Structure 1
């Protein structure tokens, strides 16, 4: 059984940095994000970690975990949105109190997805892979990003529909910010290994492949136990996005996931757009997708709205989803099925 938090206007957002904090020269971004959230009717409660950054992390692992644990148990904090991702969230896992996780939304991506997936796998509480806080600082959000509120305010048993974006951002142009933050310049086109239409259903699980791969073989990454305990009989649809891995490293990671049983009862795998998929000799990411499709005999969908080339669809770990891809356009219907 999956538990789903519920978002309402007027709730208090807890801001903590279990991975990276915001260095002093960029803290204006965080202030702007706070202002926009308050204008939208939310209250902000910030911890200390968002305001510090040293040695590739906001604070020592125990301090980061303690602040997260405290916000999770604080009745005045209704949901948690870190400022952004980072590098070393893995250090905090052994100090996170998984036995006392409350039914609160956590929203984020990149390194934050390691925490999201670990929480869902270990508790059966849904978590939300999507925008981070600093990217909500614009005058308004593009239609794809803005759906985070609609998704998180979906009631248990109800469904929410999202569509692929019209355009995405290939690279940051900090000198020319737009009112919605992103410079959406490239046409979005969802692809499949067969070039055919795809329609699949299953429970969503996933995140940034660079980080969630480090759950394999740990007490926090027992996918089989999660499936048996929380979603018995339901297949899985995995979603991944690659931040920095070369093609051989991505391939090694996917092989390890397969050998660890992560892809058992898998209906499809989706991959977000990535600037990282650098070929080695003539070994391309498309080769990897085709190899995976051949080995697992399932559809592989790629260049979806997920990850470090925004905008992003909000994908909920644990939700039951129907994924439909036709003529380069994607449709994601998520049902908050227990």
Structure 2
């Protein structure tokens, strides 16, 4: 996946770690599902961002620059936020190739921000590669005890779902700091994350969405980047699709690659278990390369192959993920997907 187009641990984190039990995962083996499941079943919601609140921007995946995150800085400054930048961003002499730091450095920086009570949100600077490498270095019990808004997408999908699974915390699939932050994106973020502007219920209608399979369903949101969802299958961070509504997006993947990942999720039972599926926009949705001319399947054809007869609501073309104007999806909240109304309704607030 070409997501380019788009450190020392704090003493507080080290002290907090030493006080916790040895089991950092917050999980247990479930003999009914033959997999790991979270100890806690109750949803944990973070508090919203308050006027004058402090946010942290960190790079859990690939390195970035101040210029690349300028739009994110402008937006959060404009909302009255104080901003702290991680060493993963400030260190411009990074020698970890496509990573912003070593696995331990990136994990320690993230946990250092988690335990600081004045920080209300942690924003990923960008995606890229490498988030999955630090998942087993995080303390999910400490994250659950210090709930904060955690925002990002693309490679950050791995982090968002791991925290949702292991800490029961609602996380946010939305813009990274290195995005354009147009008016639609900003308004949606304000309504979801900022206490002054937060709404209890939020309805999004899109008359341009394509109905792949009709229906109405209610369920908890889960999902993100297709490549990352597949990358965590068979690990303790595998997403749970049972009675959920899955949202899926990706970028710069050929049809045969999408086909393989759809088949993988199908064989893992994810599409049979879920209540509905929401697809984002695919820039190359009708392309049939790189196979012989017109011999490959397009992404659109593959979506219809796997989902047209699923018997539950499936829609295509919503604005999230690798697009400039995007809606933010809170992973863990209940929504209603209605193909007749071409709408998604958030049935609860995502903040406490």
TM over 0.5: yes
Per the TM alignment, residue 247 of structure 1 is displaced from its structure 2 partner at its CA by: 1.5
Unaligned runs of 5+ in 1: 166-187, 228-234
In structure 2, the partner of 1:90 is 132
In 2 relative to 1, CA 36–119 (structure 1 residues): closer, same or farther, beyond 3 Å? same
Structure 1 residue aligned with 2:89: 50
Alignment of 1:206-245 (within 5 A): 206-221=223-238, 223=240, 235-245=243-253
| Residue 10 (structure 1) aligned with residue 52 (structure 2) | yes
- Give the corresponding residue for 1:146: 187
Partner of 1:172: none
How many Å separate the matches in 1 of 2:82 and 2:135?
28
Q: Take 2:88 and 2:132, find their aligned partners in 1: how far apart are those partners?
A: 16
Q: Which of 204, 208, 225 is the aligned partner of 1:189? A: 208
2:157 is matched with 113
2: distance between equivalents of 1:76 and 1:67? 15
Equivalent residue, structure 2, for 1:292: 306
Q: Report matched runs for 1:96-175 at 5 Å.
A: 96-101=138-143, 102-135=146-179, 141-153=182-194, 159-164=200-205
- The corresponding residue for 1:202 is 219
Whole-angstrom distance in 2 between the partners of 1:293 and 1:129: 23
What is aligned with 2:24?
none
* Residue of 261, 266, 269 corresponding to 1:258: 266
CA gap 1:159/1:263 in 2 versus in 1, 3 angstroms: farther
Question: Which consecutive aligned stretches of 4+ in structure 1 deviate over 6 angstroms post-superposition?
Answer: none
Measured in 2, the distance between the counterparts of 1:107 and 1:222 equals: 17
State the partner residue of 2:345. 332
1:236-268 Cα shifts (integer Å, max 9, x gaps): 100010123221221221221222233343111
Q: How far did residue 305 of structure 1 move?
A: 1.1
Separation in 2 of the partners of 1:133 and 1:124? Answer: 25
Structure 1 counterpart SS, 2:166: helix
8 Å contact kept, 2:233–2:239: yes
Report the TM-score when normalising by structure 2: 0.76
SS at match of 2:219: strand
Compute the RMSD of aligned alpha carbons. 2.6
Give deviations 1:178-218, integer Å, cap 9, x for gaps: xxxxxxxxxx7210114x5x432111000011222111000
Partners of 1:307 and 1:48 in 2: CA distance: 26
Does 2:321 align with 1:307?
Answer: yes
Q: Is the 8 A contact 1:164 1:313 kept in 2?
A: no
Aligned equivalents of 2:328, 2:203: Cα separation in 1: 8
* Alpha-carbon distance in structure 1 between the residues aligned to 2:189 and 2:102: 30
Distance 1:199 1:267 in 2: 9
CA distance in 2, matches of 1:154, 1:298: 35
> Could you tell me whether the CA contact under 8 Å between 2:217 and 2:312 is conserved in 1?
no
Aligned to 1:81: 123
